[in-house]
Each structure stands twice: as C-alpha cells, then as structure tokens.
Amino acid sequence: MTRLAQFTTADYAALALLFASWIAIGYAVEHPPRRRPSVSGLMARYRRDWMVQMITRQPRIFDAQTLSTLRQGTAFFASATMIAIGGCLALLGNMERFIGIARDLTLESDPEIVWEIKILVVLVFLSNAFLKFVWSHRLFGYCAVLMAAVPNDPEDPLALPRAGKAGEINITAARGFNRGLRSLYFALAAAAWMLGAAVLAGAVVLACLVLLRREFASHSRRVLMQPEDGTSHSRGGDTAAHGESRNLGS
C-alpha cells in the first residue's frame, strides 16, 4: 500500500483509461456495426474468397508466396517485439541512469519503484504483442498445411470444405496479428507515462484516434468499400483521361 500511495489519482485515472481503451478498441474493431464494417472485417471476406479461388488456380505458387509473406511479417514483428522486451528488462537492471534521464525530462523526483512499475506496464503490452505474433505465425503455418490438403480437382467434395477451413484459420491468424499490432500501439502510449499522467492520457487518445481512423475512416477502407461492378474503375479512368487531355491542351 505504501508503494501504491506513490501514484496520484491522475495516474490511476490515466492507467484505467489506457487499459479500458485497449479493450474497447479491440472490441470495436472485431465487432463493428453491420452498417460500418472495419477494414479487418472487410479483409476477412477477401481471405475467404482467396481460399475459394485457390481451388481452381493452377499452379498455386502465388498462394504459397502470399502466405509466406504473411508469415515473414509475423516473424519480423515477433523478433522486433522480443528485442523491445529485452530493452525494457535491461532498463530494469540499470534504473539509476534511466531515472536520471527521466528526471531531467519531467523535473519529478519519484522513487525508483514508480519508474519500475511504469516500465512493467509497457512490458505487459509488449509481452501480449509477442504472444499474439507467435500464435499468428503458427496459425499461418496451419493454414499452409490446410491449403496443401485442398484437392486440385474442384469437383472433389473435399475441396470446398477444406478451403473454407483454411480461410477461417487464415482469418484467425490475421486477427491475432492485428491484436499484436494494437498492443504495440498501446505499448507506445504506455511509454508516454514516463512524462506524466496527462501525457499518458493524451497518448491514449491519440492511439485510439489513429486506430479508429485506420479501421473506419481510412483511404484503404474507402477502396475496399467501392462497388465491384466496374463503375468505380470507369469513373476513375474517365477522370484520368480528362486530366490528361486538359494537360495536353495547356
């Protein structure tokens, strides 16, 4: 209790905002309203379609390369997160130098336990991200096995069911990867606690705005929401042609 008394009410409020926002953003992205799907939800549909199209694609080199790229991405983030975890553990082992730098930035003379707890909060998010990336990498491996088990004959009764299973495993792997990325966003926000509770609250709000924009108001989402009947492409081509003719005329 004496150690907990080192933190102010503002610290507890900002910390509660951090974890509550982390949970709320994850729920909003994975359970969006039907009228406004998230980018993750839209991409899930394309992942299912990908596995269906794979049945008739000969050869399946493109599918294998695409899945390999996804696995490389998860492996990269897992290794990068592991390095960040090691850096935080190194800070815990050399707190005197870190506290000196932190006090120069914040002009606060908090005891060592306060700074250690702040670093531990960052470690919580980094550890969660690492576990999500590792599990996502393994699920993409399962997906590769299922893709290899899909028969080459589209008339085979096992082709479509196994492709559906591969699609669901692929979606689950992507969900874990996205959860790991969100944990990294909030780990960066938690690092702002070193500068004070007000800065932490501001960083949490900024992280939420960035995540919400990328999932619900980004250019990539507008592209995914475009109709696929060729109307949008023809309009884009007419606009480009009009711009070219205007440039030639000038």
As a whole number, the mean pLDDT across the chain is 87
Give the confidence band of 138 by pLDDT, cuts at 50, 70, 90: very high
Do 136 and 30 form a contact (C-beta atoms < 8 A)? no
Query: For residue 48, what are the CA distances in angstroms to 60, 187, 243?
Result: 16, 31, 38
Cis peptide bond upstream of 59, omega within 30: yes
Q: Is the pLDDT of residue 237 over 50?
A: no
Give the confidence band of 92 by pLDDT, cuts at 50, 70, 90: confident
Distance CA 194, CA 95 (A): 13
Please report the pLDDT score of residue 228 as a whole number: 82
Please report the pLDDT score of residue 245 as a whole number: 39
Q: In the block, which residue shows the tokens 């702002």? A: 192
- Helices within 94-158 (DSSP H only): 95-106, 112-149
* Lowest mean pLDDT, pick from 22-26, 225-229, 232-236, 244-248: 244-248
Please report the pLDDT score of residue 82 as a whole number: 96
The gap from C-alpha 217 to its chain's centroid, in whole angstroms, comes to: 16
Please report the pLDDT score of residue 175 as a whole number: 97
Give the max Cα distance, the chain. 78
The mean per-residue pLDDT over the stretch 239-243 comes to: 41
Distance CA 23, CA 20 (A): 5
Query: For residue 147, what are the CA distances in angstroms to 53, 106, 165?
Result: 12, 54, 9
Please report the pLDDT score of residue 239 as a whole number: 41
Please report the pLDDT score of residue 106 as a whole number: 62
Cis peptide bond upstream of 37, omega within 30: no
3-state secondary structure of 79: helix
Please report the pLDDT score of residue 27 as a whole number: 96
pLDDT in tens, 143-168: 999 999 999 888 999 999 999 999 99
The mean per-residue pLDDT over the stretch 83-105 comes to: 79
pTM of the complete model: 0.85
Q: Is the pLDDT of residue 169 over 50?
A: yes
Please report the pLDDT score of residue 238 as a whole number: 43
Give the confidence band of 240 by pLDDT, cuts at 50, 70, 90: very low
